[in-house]
A and B are shown apart, each in its own frame.
Chain A
Amino acid sequence: MATGLGRKTPRKCGPDSMTRLLEMQGISMGFPGVKALSDVSISLDRGEVLGIVGENGAGKSTLMKILAGVFRPDAGQLHLEGVPFSPRRPKDALDAGIIVIHQELSLIPERSVAENIFLGHLPRGRLGGIRRAALNREASRLLARVGLSVSPRTLVRRLGIAQQQLVEIARALSREARVIVMDEPTATLTTAEQRILFATIATLRNAGVGLVFISHHLEEVFEICDRVTVLRDGAAVETRATKDWTEDALIQAMVNRPIEALFPARHATLGEVLLQVEGLSSAGRFEDVSFELRAGEVVGLGGLIGAGRTEVLKTIYGALPATKGKIHVESRERHIRSPRQALSAGVALVPEDRKGEGLVMPFSLRTNVAMSTLTKVSWLRSILAQGRIDRLAEHAVEDLRIRTPGIRQLVRSLSGGNQQKVVLSRALTTKPRIFLLDEPTRGIDVGAKVEVYRLINALAERGAAILVVSSDMLELLGLCDRVLVMRTGRIAGMVAKADFSQERIMALAALG
């Protein structure tokens, strides 16, 4: 049944080694207006890594929140080592040894690594004080197990994301975890950090822990998982041993459509240089970045997380200060010092973090769309013309096919793909010729991805220049005319379409 890393026979650790470690049977759950899960069954053995894949909205996170005691299902049963188990609160799940490591880390930045590991069950002395020596000793032992070489006294805020993730795993170990769920653990990791994580997963598996691994990166799923379950539209459509899956079969099962349809063809002709960046630097962020963007061109900006890609975009856009270098927009030198100036120079940015930087979540679609052009939908540039705002929003909904009950819908209640369309449609309202798109399809489902690709193509065909930051290799290769690769704050090289290959880009991104 197993592939991937070598593994030992699972240790017997339950009362009856014949029963499965975890079974979730016939789980159904609905939210008002949505059927989130219908009759989903999964199982997990000791010493097994179960992969769960599916598009956004397929129900992966809901299923795991039921396991973690955050939600209670409308129907279905859970069994833990054969014993019925119905967690009512997150604490119930924790006490039963079920640890869910969420995408959003739950560490306290201002406390030490050791305190975070033992949060909620700090070793206490007779007088109720914390036994520091024991705390740090135990923490060191757990840190060694997860391969993290930092002092247990270090403040968590000084750690990188990957290190914080390892601290979360150490915390899981401190509670004698039986089941560990990792929800997109590698989304923000570098390759080296990912290797450490996978080694830790292998160690845990050999120790008899059952792991659930949720990821969008199929190659990782193939590498680390013993079995893979595909969720689609709230149902478990198929479970197979990893060796019985192929990548194509997996994608097919996830999206229910052929993969070739992902990247539509583009018929754009290259025109004049619209954006010229010369020796741009932002101290401590990136150095000496130079490139050109032509009308009709889609250029990728690849590289690892932390290589400085987002910072380059934000500096061009005036959201971060440039310390050196020149920017020419349509052959005119521009000193862009704020996003406002960038927009009036014809440069638009779609930020990476939709919730944090793209949208005002508690506001309506209408308000979010109009936000960059308030003076243009007003009388005398100061009094809002409600009718004009309505029309602007209605056009956005129509043009980008945003699925929403109406323009007054709060963006918070839209799906990720439709939220992204709101951000894109706002960028379009200022009629820019240069688009800086930061991870434009992160966290949105395949259908919405294709629509975003179509929009990018249409913009290029109409003579816009587009710079796309992406961590999705397929996207860089499938969408772009050429790819610039950044490494540690510098442009490491450029790959032309004729030379496109994942290996070329990875080599530039990671090697010295």
Chain B
Amino acid sequence: MASGQTSPAPKRNFGLSSVTRAINELTIVVGFVAISVYLAITTPSFLTSANLLSILLASSLIGIVAVGETFVIVTGGIDLSVGSVVAFTGVMAGLALNAHIPVPIAVLLGVGIGALSGGFIAFAVTTLNMAPFIVSLAVLAMARGLAFIVTNGNTIFSFPDAFDNIGGGNIGPFPVAALIAAAVFLIAGLVLARTVFGAEVYAVGGNRDAARLAGIPVTRTLAIVYIISGALAGLGGVVLAGRLDSAQPIAAVGLELNAIAAVVIGGASLFGGKGSILGTLLGVLIIGLINNGLTLKNVQPFWVQFIQGAVIFGAVLIDSLNQKRRGG
């Protein structure tokens, strides 16, 4: 039959497809509940407010970065640079503070450098037609390198209290970082689900050629998502530096893996066109629970890496099975 015809999926695949669909929608919630219940029963220290707040605090950094990553992944791209950008923007903000630049400007500097780095990736992807995977891998190395260059490999520390409060302070019982992350999630959720720009992000990821012919500004949309991702990594750098009252060039190594895993666990497809901020939020919390559980149970750090990798593998496997069911 002609190319436009969609033949129904072969019958014998139905068992598998319904299973993978169920996995996709339910694992997020069921997985979250299951891990929580397991940890609550087996480790008495899990359900203490101190521990829960520490999960929230750790999840804040991953969350802020994962929101930007969600935009990129929904367009079908990827941004591997975010971990390094967190480190680089953190030390840049720290150097600015040590040069007695006012806190608000130092914060803007961190976010702005992140946005610039995203803009660089956007330029390479849209204008030079380079693959996002490779470009952002290159920026991962370059940003990390710059972080070492500008600090000579040293840790920058002792910042004003106003700055440290961004990452480590509390408002009432809540960490400021978690409130910032909540605001980022809320705004991003509305933007992606309710605005013209959000619809354009989905369309570009769903079928770039069709989006372009339908009059959607594909280049602009792609540029903006990488800038958002970079800017949020910059915000992450500020939050992390504030929380630690120090900025290190080796900070946030491998953070991009946690962020990407959170997005994919949240139901986004690395093939583009699918994903949501709410899903990413759940993904971030699951990653936070797993990391916390591994710490509470005193699992060897070597195993922590392995388990995180296995979780990512599982999430991508589900995405891939779903893609196959749809027939690509």
Contact = CB atoms under 8 A, between A and B. Distances in A.
Interface of A: 31-32, 34, 36, 56-57, 60-62, 65, 70-72, 103-104, 184, 187, 216, 317, 319, 338-340, 342-343, 349, 351, 353-363, 367, 370-372, 374-375, 378, 381-384, 412-416, 419-420, 426, 430, 442-444
A61 B214 CA distance: 30
Interface of B: 1-12, 14, 194-200, 202-203, 206-207, 209-217, 273-274, 326
A392 to B, nearest CB: 13
A184 B217 contact: no
A357 B186 CA distance: 33
A443 B2 contact: yes
Contacts of A351: 210, 213
Contacts of B203: 360, 363, 367, 371
Given A31-B8, A71-B10, A412-B326, A374 B200 contact: yes
B4 A354 contact: yes
7 contacts: A71-B11, A357-B207, A358-B210, A360-B211, A384-B195, A415-B5, A416-B4
A321 to B, nearest CB: 14
Contact of A383 (B4, B5, B6, B196): B196
B8 A384 contact: no
Contacts of B210: 351, 356-360, 371
Nearest to B217: A340
A444 B8 CA distance: 16
Contact of B2 (A184, A359, A362, A375): A184
Contacts of A57: 1, 5
A363 B203 CA distance: 8
Given A371-B216, A430-B215, A362 B4 contact: no
Contacts of B3: 103-104, 353-355, 442-443
Contacts of A354: 3-4
Contacts of B211: 360, 371
A362 B326 contact: yes
A187 B196 CA distance: 39
A60 B1 contact: yes
Given A319-B212, A360-B211, A372-B215, A442 B4 contact: yes
A357 B200 CA distance: 16
A339 B214 contact: yes
B207 A56 contact: no
Contacts of A381: 196
A426 B213 CA distance: 11
A357 B4 contact: no
Nearest to B12: A72
A56 B216 CA distance: 31
Given A374-B199, A416-B1, A443-B4, 14 more contacts: A32-B14, A57-B5, A70-B10, A358-B210, A359-B207, A361-B206, A362-B274, A371-B203, A374-B200, A381-B196, A384-B195, A384-B198, A419-B6, A444-B2
Nearest to A363: B206
Nearest to B271: A362
Contact of B196 (A65, A70, A374, A444): A374
B1 A383 contact: no
Contacts of A415: 5-6
Contact of B213 (A36, A357, A375, A412): A357
Given A70-B10, A383-B196, A384-B195, A349 B213 contact: yes
A362 B273 CA distance: 8
Contacts of A383: 194-196
A171 B252 CA distance: 53
A60 B1 CA distance: 7
Contacts of A359: 207, 210
B213 A339 contact: yes
